[in-house]
Amino acid sequence: MDAQTFTLRWGLGLVAALAALAAAAPLLAPYDPGEQLDPPTAMLRPPGTALAAVRLAGGGWLLADRVERRADGGLLLHRRGRGDEVLAAGQVSNLTAAGVADGRLFLLGSDKFGRDVASRMLYGARVSLAIGVVAVALAASLGIALGALAALGGPVLDMLIMRGLDALLAFPWLFLMVAVSALFRPGTTTLVLILGATAWPYISRLVRAELLSLQQREFILAARAMGQRPVVILFRHLLPNALAPVLVQAVLQVGVLILVESALSFLGIGIQPPTPSWGNMILEGQDELFQAWWVATFPGAALALTVIAFNLLGDGLRDLLDPRRAGATLPGS
């Protein structure tokens, strides 16, 4: 397998797998992402911890490290943080001969509220992927429209758009985004708008360059000589031929924007708790980094893997669709 096939195949495979995991989060997640499973017994448990779950006759659950049936039929609970507790048989509704019928497994550990890290990561994947894709769709629409306007709208418009674009590209985007998202009420919509607004220049510049070079080609001259209207030429001949590099850049931008979204969430001004996002999970895990490494480590690894997946896919697509530029474009550089 050569290198091109390798990047494309792995990129496509990873992105598809991540999208499937995110889409199936409600089916796959063992628990509700916001459910606080009996803290302090369940808080900050390491990956792989299995606890017995005692169903109370009056409703609700108690978690315990170990349960024993007592001679009198009652239940002895060994609970971390609470000591031992005794329940009468009548108080428990899921009794079996040896103990209780249910259990809880924290596959990737639990956080300080006793929430399941794995479940939160699955739901966090939905947030990250959705925001990345929607923001890029927004950036692409804006970028294609303004890029086409710059290329075809005459020299004054071109100058104005390109200078505005230079200003945006010259800017340390994070400072601006941090300022904007701190000043306006943080929320998903604000975040998508900010991300989309900062990503369009990369796409605009590409679209403009593509259109300018396409305009010199014979088939466009022919279409014009045949008297086709400019709008028809734009939509039927120019844009379809300019789409390959735009698609590549869009895929790379999804990775970049997912990274930016989680950076903002990590700074506390992106996705707000209790909605789980990888960025705010890492922020919450930062406080217990030394006592509970898993809370910040796993969401970060998922984040890195996702960005790698989109960069691989973008790279592979470029090698396939746009070999001229192979190895030359980088996301958002």
- Between helices 155-169 and 188-214, what is the axis angle to 10°? 130
Report the amino acid identity of residue 153: G
Size, binding site for other proteins by CB under 8 A: 57
Among 23, 50, 179, 232, binds other proteins (CB under 8 A): 179
Pair type for strands 61-64 and 66-69: unpaired
Using CB under 8 A as the binding rule, the residues of this chain from 246 to 265 that contact other proteins are: 255, 259, 262-263
For other proteins, which is the closer residue by CB, 29 or 267?
267
Instruction: Report if residue 23 touches other proteins, rule: CB under 8 A.
Output: no
Among 105, 308, 320, 321, binds other proteins (CB under 8 A): 308
For other proteins, which is the closer residue by CB, 100 or 258?
258
Contact 120, 33 (CB under 8 A): yes
Instruction: Report if residue 154 touches other proteins, rule: CB under 8 A.
Output: no
CB of 144 to other proteins, least distance (A): 16
Instruction: Report if residue 178 touches other proteins, rule: CB under 8 A.
Output: yes
Among 19, 176, 234, 321, binds other proteins (CB under 8 A): 176
Question: 284 - beta bridge partners?
Answer: none
Instruction: Report if residue 170 touches other proteins, rule: CB under 8 A.
Output: yes
CB of 320 to other proteins, least distance (A): 16
Site string for other proteins, 188-227 (x = CB under 8 A): --------------------xxx-xx--------------
Span from 70-78, 92-100, 175-183, 218-226 in contact with other proteins (CB under 8 A): 175-183
Task: State the Cα–Cα distance between residues 136 and 265, nearest whole angstrom.
Answer: 18
For other proteins, which is the closer residue by CB, 223 or 282?
282
For other proteins, which is the closer residue by CB, 94 or 190?
190
Contact 52, 66 (CB under 8 A): yes
CA distances to 47, 107, 261, 311 from 118, in Å:
9, 7, 20, 24
CA distances to 232, 254, 308 from 241, in Å:
13, 22, 28
Task: State the Cα–Cα distance between residues 278 and 125, nearest whole angstrom.
Answer: 7
Contact 241, 215 (CB under 8 A): no
For other proteins, which is the closer residue by CB, 86 or 179?
179
Cβ neighbours for 241, distance < 8 A, ≥ 6 positions apart: 210, 214
- Give residue 134's Cα distance to chain centre: 11
Instruction: Report if residue 300 touches other proteins, rule: CB under 8 A.
Output: yes
Of the CA atoms within 13 Å of residue 71, those in its CB half-sphere come to 0
Task: State the Cα–Cα distance between residues 267 and 235, nearest whole angstrom.
Answer: 42
Task: State the Cα–Cα distance between residues 53 and 61, nearest whole angstrom.
Answer: 6
Applying CB under 8 A, which residues contact other proteins?
3, 6-7, 155, 158, 163, 166-167, 169-176, 178-180, 182-185, 208-210, 212-213, 255, 259, 262-263, 266-267, 269, 282, 285-286, 289-290, 293, 296-297, 300-301, 303-304, 307-308, 311-312, 315, 327-328, 330-331, 333
